Amino acid sequence: MRKFIIYFVLLITCGFQSYAQEVIQNISSRKNISLNGRWNYIVDPYQNGYFDYRRMAFDESETGNGGYYDDKQPKDKTDLVEYDFDHSPSLNVPGDWNSQKEDLKLYEGAVWYRRLFNATPQKGKKYIIYFAAANYEAHVYLNGKKLGMHKGGFTAFQFDVTELLKLGANSLVVMVDNTRKQDEVPTINTDWWNYGGITRDVYLAELPDTYLADYKIQLAKNNLKEISGFIQIKGNQKEQKVTINIPEAGIKFNTNTNDKGYAAINIPVKNLINWSPENPKLYQVNIKTETDAVEDKIGFRTISTKGKDILLNGKSVFLRGIAIHDENPLIPGRPRSEADLRMLLTWAKELNCNYVRLAHYPHNEKMMRLADEMGLMVWAEVPVYWTISWENPETYKNAAKQLTDLIELDKNRASVIIWSVGNETPVSEPRNKFMGNLVDKAKSLDDTRLVAAALELHREGNIVHVDDVLGEKLDIVSFNEYAGWYWGGTPKEIPQYKFEIKYPKPVVISELGGAALAGFHGDQDTRWTEEYQEALYENQFKMLDQIDGLRGMTPWILVDFRSPRRPHPIYQNFWNRKGLISDTGVKKKAFFALKSYYEKVEKKYA
């Protein structure tokens, strides 16, 4: 009897806590229909649609029924139903709710989304529903049945719906909850807007029953002469012949997957044109199995460090970067289309950048593809930000999962050269362990890229020390440094500071900067003026040029962005004004200061 109870408890807890599966590689190239568009929604601050009046979750009840996901209409005139998706207002997907409805601008909590769609499922096919991101926690239901849940506001997730998909009308319901919580990743305190909702694309994809689930096709570590990686097939027919064809490079490679559906790939290559910002060459790559076929566009490059140098394809480079949030200031809100993303990267190119820091969380898969295409190297990051719950094992698991998902999804993008495991995390024993484990995790998942974190520094007089123990494990030294803004006096006082950096590695400064309200002018000592910000940049360059290992930087930040931490009614109005471009797209003076500095650096490294 006891055994039975334990079994039953296990069954229900596992059943109800079913998490999303790992996502397939390259969703947009599969046969799919888009589930973007207008979704009806119900705002649910008390989570009435999820819990009954005793606060028991409906989807954990005996029948699993009772929540808004049933998407019910009254059966007859006597029937009581207290919600109605059909007559509820709608939101655009992709898109956060805050920027679409004035009354949701500051809303944090649960919102129910519903999308009706038609399907014609075929026998012998597999169907998945794929969300490119929903912030923060998503509970997903198809035709009244729970598919599972996902945590993490910036990573993709999917569910197999082969069994539940109906011929004709289907109802897809998602409860998205963006409540901030101390033990989550990120935690309650950040410096960006907590945009909620289904913020990225949603797809229904049709796959063959046995399908190409994943692949990695990249140059081997430090080796311009070999493509290495793997193919992973899922389904019943695991042992298959596989062909990888890269026509333009004259490559046709045949192999077989084993009984686990796996094949390692090692392809010797000659005369490949290597991907670089100057020549962002992408090759058409066709992968064919006996049951499936996928096409991709992939660039080939190596990235490594040697002493204080960063080597791209074996050649020393300087990372002329800028930091970017996943926000279009002109909405303002989360980007809704590829054009929004392209606008941000076009600004970075105008600044003469060859590199961007996509802060502080995983950005859209499409952003990485655009960076590939436009020739921008990328620092990609997870939202391990400030004061995470270092001692909670669940928090670590969550952070490690988000890091894994980021690396798995974007591993074929040549643009991505750095995985960052976190930002400005205060040194302590539990933090060192947590962050150290994340570094090991990143390295175990991908040994071909660099691993970094934005560290903190401390000062003694005019000496700035960078000696965080985590630096030992990282490939480059990166830190956020706010001389002239949070410390260090006015801009002209900046050059007196000298750096003592413990590690003989390349230094890539992850943040520096100060704020200015576009159009506000004055002298160089007056805060918030464009002149102050410009002088801050000019004097930073004087100071930073003294660091002999300086190999790059990503000043904070490309564009002004919304933040609840920035209430000043005249200068901020809930915007962080450290952008080089204003919220209306106007370039501030500092934009041109950085641009001309980068022009000089570019010549030096040409």
Q: Could you list the residues that contact ligand GCB (CB under 6 A)? A: 191, 360, 423-424, 480, 511, 556, 576, 578
d(CA 12, CA 262): 32
CB of 114 to ligand GCB, least distance (A): 34
> Which tokens in the block code for residue 318?
């300087």
- Chain-centroid distance of CA 214 in Å reads 19
Q: How far is the CB of 235 from ligand GCB (least distance, A)?
A: 43
Q: Using CB atoms within 10 Å of the CB of residue 429, give its burial: 0 to 12 exposed, 13 to 18 middle, 19+ buried.
A: exposed
Name the residue among 129, 176, 131, 139 with its Cα closest to residue 157. Answer: 131
Distance of closest approach, residue 464 Cβ to ligand GCB, in angstroms: 15
Beta carbon nearer to ligand GCB, 324 or 407: 324
402: tokens are 């988000």
SS3 content of the chain, % helix, strand, coil (to 5): 20, 30, 45
Query: Contact at 8 Å (CB) between 249 and 283?
Result: yes
Minimum CB distance to ligand GCB, residue 558 (Å): 12
For every residue of 337-375, which 3-state class applies, written as one string? Answer: CHHHHHHHHHHHHHCCCCEEEECCCCCCHHHHHHHHHHC
- With respect to ligand GCB, which residue has the nearer C-beta, 232 or 480? 480
Contact 285, 297 (CB under 8 A): yes
Write down the least CB distance from residue 136 to ligand GCB, Å. 18
How far the first Cα of the chain sits from its last, in Å, is 75
Q: How far is the CB of 479 from ligand GCB (least distance, A)?
A: 10
3 state SS of 349: helix
Instruction: Choose between 159 and 419: whose C-beta lies nearer to ligand GCB.
Output: 419
Question: How many whole angstroms from its chain centre is CA 67?
Answer: 31
CB of 19 to ligand GCB, least distance (A): 29
For ligand GCB, which is the closer residue by CB, 303 or 512? 512
Task: Name which of 246 and 515 has its Cβ closer to ligand GCB.
Answer: 515
Q: State the residue number with the nearest CB to ligand GCB.
A: 191
By the 8 A CB rule, do 113 and 120 touch? Answer: no
Give the CA distances from residue 236 to residues 122, 255, 291, 410, in Å, rounded to whole numbers and listed in that order: 17, 18, 11, 27
Smallest distance from the beta carbon of 533 to ligand GCB, in angstroms?
12
Cβ distance to ligand GCB smaller for residue 44 or 326: 326
With residue 32 as reference, give the H or E element that holds it.
strand 31-34
Complex with ligand GCB: residue 150 or 577, whichever CB lies closer: 577
By C-beta, is 210 or 480 nearer to ligand GCB? 480
